[in-house]
Amino acid sequence: MPDAIRRVFARQKWMAIAVATIVLAGILTAVSPVFLTLSNLQSILVQSSVTAIMAIGMTFIILTAGIDISVGAILFFTSALFAQLMIDTESYLIAFSAAMTCATGLGALNGVLVVKFRISPLITTLATYSIYRGAAIHLTGAQNIPVPREMGFLGNGKIFSIPVPILILIAVFVIGVYAFTRTRFGVYTRAIGNSARSATESNLPVNRVTIAVYAASGFVTGIAALILLARVGGLQSGIGIGIEFTVIAAVILGGTKLTGGSGTVTGSVIGAVFLVLIDNGLNLMNASPYIYDIVRGSVLLAAVAVDRISAVRQQKAVEAARAARIQGAAIPG
């Protein structure tokens, strides 16, 4: 690989997943004539919108070296609250503002627990996952609740012939990239993931930023919940189950390191699209539905392995360069 290209790959950590996505799209184009149609591409983006939006929030959490397992439960709780309030009050305003406040609040609660009690985010959010989901089922009495027909606009409507979920995804994406690159919040987030100790010594508001990333993730999960509710047409008990896997996988595939500090919003969105492409391809191949999970898991494993191998190779290149220097400086006697 020429140096210039390698540098682009090193700087733009999402390049790898972008190339993988293009290659996969190329294969699917060759295999199926319907793949490269506007409607199929639109449908792929619509299908990835929910996980992509959540992955944008998750990126910030993972950048701080945290994780939120409970996003699926927040998604479910928010959907349940919204659907229930629509039945009870018939007011979009109340239902909408309550749902968004609640989604943000549940995310923030995760952040507060992580910060105040210094419990590992994995355990904290594993616990709140169970609590949030249980609370939602308690709230709705485990019933399926339909949402009003006009909600469908959010999931299936179009503005200037572009599906609404895609527009929302673009908006969240732009805000996410801006926050990541241009704001203090963004740079603090990356800094904390690099080294919490250094962040404290540099006088950064570590606790506030940590709570804020979980709250922000909760907020975008709320948005995702409303889109999903609109697309499905009502609350179902299966909503959000297992979605945390897809969301976290998208972030990791996108090149964000679980150890924190390094990653991009762009990569996460492409990662989410990539995962839908895989489903799409399997669908075109008429694969058994049981295969899907196996393939998704294998892809994630392969991505992490490739990342490790390239890191090791880079290390070897550095060592080889040093060896060359030493041989060059060989001294007689």
Partner 1 sequence: MMMNRAADTIAATDAKPVLSVRNLSKAFAGKTVVDDVSFDIHPGEVIGLVGENGAGKSTTKNMLCGLLQPSNGEILVEGEVVPHIDGPAHGISAVHQELSLFGSLTVAENMCISDLPGKPARVDWREADRIAREQLEFLGIEIDTQATIESLGSGRQQVVEIAKALLHADRVLILDEPTTSLTAVEREKLFAIIDTLKARGVAIIFISHFMEEIYRVCDKFIVLRDGKQVGGGYLSDVPQRQLEEMMVGRTIEDSKIDLHPPGEVEALRVQGLSAIDFDGIDFTVHKGEILGISGLMGAGRTEIAEAIFGLRAATGDVFVKGEKVSPITVKAMKARGVCYVPEDRRTNGLFLNRPVRENLSAAAILNFVTRSLRGIGFRGEKARASDVVRERDISVPSIENHVSDLSGGNQQKVLLGRWLSMAPEILIFDEPTKGVDIGAKFDIHATIAELARAGRAVVIVSSDLPELLHTTHRLLVMRKGHIVGEFQREAYDSVKIISLAASAGNGSNGNA
When asked if residue 213 is in the footprint of partner 1 (CB under 8 A), the reply is no
Question: Are 9 and 261 within 8 A, CB to CB?
Answer: no
Question: Are 128 and 135 within 8 A, CB to CB?
Answer: no
Residues 80, 193: Cα–Cα separation, whole Å: 33
Please identify which residue in 96, 137, 262, 304 interacts with partner 1, judged by CB under 8 A.
262
Please identify which residue in 75, 191, 209, 247 interacts with partner 1, judged by CB under 8 A.
191
Which phi and psi angles does 159 have, rounded to 5°? -120, 125
The one segment of 36-44, 98-106, 115-123, 195-203 that binds partner 1 by CB under 8 A: 195-203
| CA nearest neighbour of 226 among 86, 18, 325 | 86
Q: How far is the CB of 3 from partner 1 (least distance, A)?
A: 14
Q: What is the DSSP letter of 85?
A: H
Which phi and psi angles does 44 have, rounded to 5°? -65, -45
CB nearer to partner 1: give 44 or 206: 206
Which phi and psi angles does 233 have, rounded to 5°? 95, -5
Please identify which residue in 198, 283, 314, 315 interacts with partner 1, judged by CB under 8 A.
198
Other Cβ atoms less than 10 A from the Cβ of 263: the count is 25
Please identify which residue in 195, 234, 237, 258 interacts with partner 1, judged by CB under 8 A.
195
Please identify which residue in 37, 91, 183, 314 interacts with partner 1, judged by CB under 8 A.
183
- Give the helix ranges, DSSP H, for 118-163: 121-140, 152-156
CB nearer to partner 1: give 43 or 194: 194
Q: How far is the CB of 52 from partner 1 (least distance, A)?
A: 23
Residues 113, 86: Cα–Cα separation, whole Å: 30
* Exposed / middle / buried, residue 96 (Cβ in 10 Å: 0-12, 13-18, 19+): middle
When asked if residue 308 is in the footprint of partner 1 (CB under 8 A), the reply is no
Assigned token pair, 58: 């998750």
CB nearer to partner 1: give 141 or 332: 332
| CA nearest neighbour of 215 among 83, 119, 74 | 74
Which phi and psi angles does 146 have, rounded to 5°? -75, 155
Question: Are 70 and 244 within 8 A, CB to CB?
Answer: yes
Residues 118, 111: Cα–Cα separation, whole Å: 10
CB nearer to partner 1: give 89 or 259: 259
CB nearer to partner 1: give 83 or 216: 216
The one segment of 179-187, 210-218, 270-278, 280-288 that binds partner 1 by CB under 8 A: 179-187
Q: How far is the CB of 190 from partner 1 (least distance, A)?
A: 6
The one segment of 74-82, 95-103, 197-205, 207-215 that binds partner 1 by CB under 8 A: 197-205
Please identify which residue in 7, 184, 208, 313 interacts with partner 1, judged by CB under 8 A.
184
Please identify which residue in 5, 30, 123, 323 interacts with partner 1, judged by CB under 8 A.
323
When asked if residue 202 is in the footprint of partner 1 (CB under 8 A), the reply is yes
When asked if residue 314 is in the footprint of partner 1 (CB under 8 A), the reply is no
CB nearer to partner 1: give 289 or 332: 332
CB nearer to partner 1: give 60 or 188: 188
Please report the sign of the dihedral spanned by the C-alpha atoms of residue 147, residue 174, residue 53, residue 158. positive
Question: Which residues lie near partner 1 (CB under 8 A)?
Answer: 182-185, 187-188, 190-191, 194-195, 197-199, 201-204, 261-262, 319-320, 322-323, 325-327, 329-333
